[in-house]
Structure 1
Amino acid sequence: MHDPDREAASGELARFRQEFYDCVTARADVLFELADAVLCADGPVTSLVDLTLTPEHRRGHGALYDGLNSGRIDVARLRVDLARLSLPRTDDGRIVLAVDVSPWLRSDAATSAERLFCHVYGRAKSASQFIPGWPYSFVVALESGRTSWTAMLDAVRLGPADDATAVTAEQLRAVVDRLVTAGHWTNGDPNILIVMDSGYDVTRLAFVLADLPVEVLGRIRSDRVLRLPKLPRLPGVNGRPPKHGPEFALAKPATWPEPQHTTTTETTRYGTARADSWDRLHPRLTHRTCWLNHDGELPVIEGTLLRLQVDHLPGNRNPDPVWLWSSATDATGQDVDRWWRSYLRRFDLEHTFRLFKQTLGWTRPKIRTPEAADRWTWIVIAAHTQLRLARPLVEDLRRPWEKPAAPGRLTPARVRRDFRNIRPTVTLPARAPKPGKPGPGRPPGRKNRKPAARHDVGKTVKRDLTIAQHQGQKG
């Protein structure tokens, strides 16, 4: 039976597989088959060497490690290919992006370079710790509605010399530019919404990305103090005009004026959701941290403040209010509802991280060099992208104890179960392996006389001047 949608999905999957193969400029066959082994393995990926036992990987374990250590992937070209694929949109045609950092923990890898101390939450309440690892910043496009799918667009590993805010701004700018070039956004379309959780300097990102067609929405801490717009100057008052208005302390309701908009929504998961918004609130900036090298007068970055309160959380937990700040101003009640709903959709990225780590085995390999870790990360991203493109093509191979899924509502793990069956129907560009034999290796009894170098963990770049010295030079 002729099905245009199925044929279009099959064609898009076949094109991406060919483009991914063309992006691998060295050891292409083994790395491409490695991605297929990730997609077709029975059960979660637990080690790299086990992937060589799958029928889809026709080469030995030596070739696999040689591909990861010595292969090359044209990441710039692969990023362009990802941006050209079809993207999910909201009901009003808006693209919603989410950015977050997920660590690849390597606490026992003293010979691995460029590791940082990654923040990890502990099991107890308010317990956290810092473990060495490689942090990666991911950017995805979110779908509307409750789902575990995201469209992966970019990944950048944060190094010891990187400023996290500057790297995130550069990454988001590059992603938006590629989406515009690919034709996903044109003049007259709604602005692209970028959502993020706490930990990001949302006002700094809004200032740096102000020339792009984007709106930035992020969660802020509940102990922040913002400023209201400055009051009109009365006639006959002398002195310097004020730059900031009265304080708005998030922890002190007595400082809150009446909100411009208040919306209530009945939800099936959280009960009644109440959202209050205040327009044109801004932080009072100082010449510290990321604004240390800013020349001239510091800007006033105005936005909309949201306070979201729900009746209950899953597990009957008492919820605390969530504070959000958006770079857009003059918002309507409809904008307020769209913002907090989009923020909740940001947590779909957590499902992607869980899939990467628990099913696709992103953090399972004990890879030594950060360059090999980058190659493996992009192989996992390419595998996840193929799962997303294969959603309309697979059948639901559910377990006897699993409930049937509605058409188009299969989870990534259930799509992966049937990928082996559709793989022969799409492009298979990898060539057959040539006959060979393993190398001799190190002779028995001879010790390794060139031990690997050991590397310290953490930041390696310090400021030339302290904040006091820097301010003294400016004065």
Structure 2
Amino acid sequence: MDSLQDDAARVEALTELSRFRREFYGCLTLRADALFELTDAVLCAGRPVVSLPELSLEAVRRRGHGAMYDALARGHINVSRLRMTLAGLELPRGTDRQLSIALDVTAWPRPDAECSPERLHCHRPCRCDGVRQTIPGWPYQVAAALGGGRSSWTGPLDAVRLGPTDDPTEVTATQILGLLARLGEAGQWRPGDPDVLFVLDSGYDIVRLTWLLREEPVRLLGRIRSDRVMHAPAGRRKGPRPGRRPRHGPEFRLADPATHPAPAQESAGSHERFGAVTTRCWGRLHPKLQRRQGGWNDHNGELPIVEGTLVHLAVEHLPGNRDPKPLWLWHSDPDATAHDVDRLWRTFLRRFDIEHTFRFFKQTLGLARPRLRNPEQADRWVWLILAAYAQLRLARPLAEDLRRPWEKPLAPDQLTPGRVRRGYPRIRRILGTPASTPKATHPGPGRPKGRTSAPAPRHPVVKKRIKRDNPRRSGAEEET
């Protein structure tokens, strides 16, 4: 009986993977065969991707390396359709079926690409001298669904490149709105379901995001600096004289415990990695906004009061015997007693699963390996990597544990993305390919003699984002 169920599960997994491959092929509207075989080469390579020319030597790449570069330079991907396809896949969820999505930025380093436009100073430690904390490159903001337990798997749903004229907070709000629309259309979220939880790390203006998304069915959870100052709700005006009611109540200095009132909730527990854990939360706190800070310059009228819940996490120790530092989280729901604070910080820890995904993208799938000149070519490559990772997620029930002699055996439901990729060539032979057979061809004439092109223009690295009149992107998604 169990074998019949296993066979039915494998047939269902093969059907779902085959359906996604056909749908992905339909998203490639120009140079489709070359782009699709390039994605298969990324999946079937027996080693980490180190360069594009080596991918052209894979057996699944039936076209030459020239067609590969031409596909990245002149190909076309229907990004809107591909985003909708990714949103329709089965997504990892928590034990309570809560849909949690992590947002984070990863950099494509291009420090020496002077001819590549739209490079920014990305916040990433540079290995050149070990001191610099930024490196010129293209930053990509990725959204990925999170699971409920410790895992190296996530469900990437979207990727947006941040440009010189983009307001990061506006772009993030627009990306979240697009994700909500696609999740609703795909049936992943319906009215009456719990609000979608977006988990952010430090670096995001989570207070402004809370205001921009105040009417949407979302909740935001993110880390904030430990030196910030919040305020309690304003009380009645002091003194007998009439006047305007104060807007801000007593100060709540995160770094000064003397200003902390009694918490609304407090819990104590233990964690296998951090030891004893104490969690406290305070509700109905808000920061004092300033027009000259945080992108509030264009706000019409009086600055709003944006309330939320502060969560303080204190642990006994950190891995590697490091001294524990205070961790403060902001939750967009101001009612501190309406949710489980213990589940909130555990959900925030799941945000670090996206770091495993970024590392797998770069070290194994070669996300930042190609030396492409134009950012549009880089966008196409990023979407190919996201489609390749989605195929690995769908192939998990079909993969075998092809482990190295020095590796520990893993259960089928615990296989890592790297081990699933080792067995993907066998799965690919069963699935076949929708790409057409290449036609017979002959070498081209090459560059004409005596003709040289003008030097390529140089583009400086943008040090400060350029302000524009309407920083929010339109609802229509661009095509890549």
Question: Shorter-chain-normalised TM-score: which range?
Answer: over 0.9
Inter-partner Cα distance in structure 1 for 2:358 and 2:194: 28
Q: Is the 8 A contact 2:236 2:246 kept in 1?
A: no
Corresponding residue for residue 434 of structure 1 = 439
Say yes or no: does 1:324 pair with 2:337: no
Give yes or no for the alignment of 1:346 onto 2:351. yes
Tell me what 2:478 maps to: none
- Give 1:69's aligned residue: 73
Counterpart mapping for 1:451-470 below 5 A? 451-458=455-462, 462-463=466-467
User: Which residue of structure 1 lines up, in the alignment, with residue 108 of structure 2?
Assistant: 104
- What secondary structure is seen at the aligned counterpart in 1 of 2:36? helix
Residue 230 of structure 2 is aligned with which of 211, 221, 226?
226
Change (3 A) 1:382 1:462: closer
Q: Indicate if the aligned counterparts of 1:263 and 1:333 stay in contact, CA closer than 8 A.
A: no
* CA deviations over 1:23-50 (Å, ceiling 9, x no partner): 0000000100000000000110000000
Unaligned runs of 5+ in 1: 466-475
Structure 1 contact 23–78 (Cα < 8 Å) conserved: yes
TM-score (normalizing by structure 1): 0.94
**Equivalence for 1:163:** 167
Aligned-residue offset at 1:449: 3.0
Amino acid at match of 2:337: T
Rate the CA distance shift 1:401–1:106 in 2: closer, same or farther, 3 A: same
> How far did 1:424 drift?
2.0
**Matched residues, percent identical?**
56
Q: RMSD of the TM alignment (CA)?
A: 1.9
Helix, strand or coil at the partner of 1:162 = coil
The CA distance in 2 between the partners of 1:216 and 1:464, in whole Å, is 27
Map of 1:421 onto structure 2: 426
Aligned pair partner of 2:365 in 360, 363, 374: 360
CA distance in 1: counterparts of 2:255 and 2:130, whole angstroms:
19
- Of 42, 58, 64, the match for 1:60: 64
Aligned to 1:303: 308
Secondary structure of 2:362's aligned partner: helix
CA distance in 2, matches of 1:369, 1:249: 46
Say whether the 8 Å CA contact 2:102–2:143 is kept in structure 1. Answer: yes
Q: Tell me the residue number matched to 1:393.
A: 398
Cα distance change on mapping 1:124 and 1:305 into 2, 3 Å: farther
Partner of 1:384: 389
**Which residue of 1 is the match for residue 246 of structure 2?**
242
Give every structure 1 segment of 4 or more consecutive aligned residues whose post-TM-superposition deviation is greater than 6 Å.
123-126
Cα 1:460–1:311 change in 2 (3 A) is closer
What is the TM-score of this pair, normalised by structure 2? 0.93
Q: Partner residue of 1:469? A: none
Kindly indicate whether the alpha-carbon contact (under 8 Å) linking 2:166 and 2:466 is maintained by their aligned counterparts in 1: no
Tell me whether 1:46 sits opposite 2:25 in the alignment: no
CA distance in 1, matches of 2:440, 2:430: 27
Contact 1:281 1:302 in 2 (8 A): yes
Q: Deviations over 1:375-406 (max 9, x none)?
A: 01100110011011111110000011100112
**Cα pair 1:62 1:438 within 8 Å, conserved:** no
Deviates more, 1:184-193 or 1:57-66: 184-193
1:156 is aligned with what amino acid? V
SS in 1 for 2:342: helix
User: What SS does structure 2 have at the residue aligned with 1:282?
Assistant: strand
The amino acid that maps onto 2:258 is: A
> The residue matched to 1:121 in structure 2 has which SS?
coil
- Say which of 69, 75, 82 aligns to 1:78: 82
CA deviation vs aligned residue, 1:182-230 (integer Å, no higher than 9, x gap): 1111122111110000000001111111121110011000111111111
Structure 1 window deviating more from structure 2 (32-41 vs 334-343): it is 334-343
Equivalent residues of 2:285, 2:334 under 8 A apart: no
Structure 1 residue 237: Cα displacement: 5.0
Cα distance in 1 between the residues matched to 2:246 and 2:339: 33
Shift of 1:128: 4.3
SS at match of 1:312: coil
The 1:322–1:399 alpha-carbon spacing in structure 2 relative to 1, beyond 3 Å, is: same
Report the counterpart of residue 9 of structure 1 in structure 2.
13
Distance 1:335 1:51 in 2: 48
Q: Post-superposition shift, 1:66?
A: 0.4
Whole-angstrom distance in 1 between the partners of 2:91 and 2:282: 32
- Deviation, 1:332, is 3.4
Measured in 2, the distance between the counterparts of 1:254 and 1:126 equals 38
Q: Tell whether the 8 Å contact from 1:104 to 1:134 is kept in structure 2 after alignment.
A: yes
Q: Which runs of 5+ in 2 are unaligned?
A: 470-480
Counterpart of 1:183 in 2: which secondary structure? coil
Give the aligned residue type for 1:47.
S
Give the number of aligned pairs: 464
Which residue of structure 1 aligns with residue 274 of structure 2? 270
Deviation at 1:162, TM superposition (A): 0.7
Alpha-carbon distance in 2 for matches of 1:202, 1:7: 44
Report what 1:253 is aligned to.
257
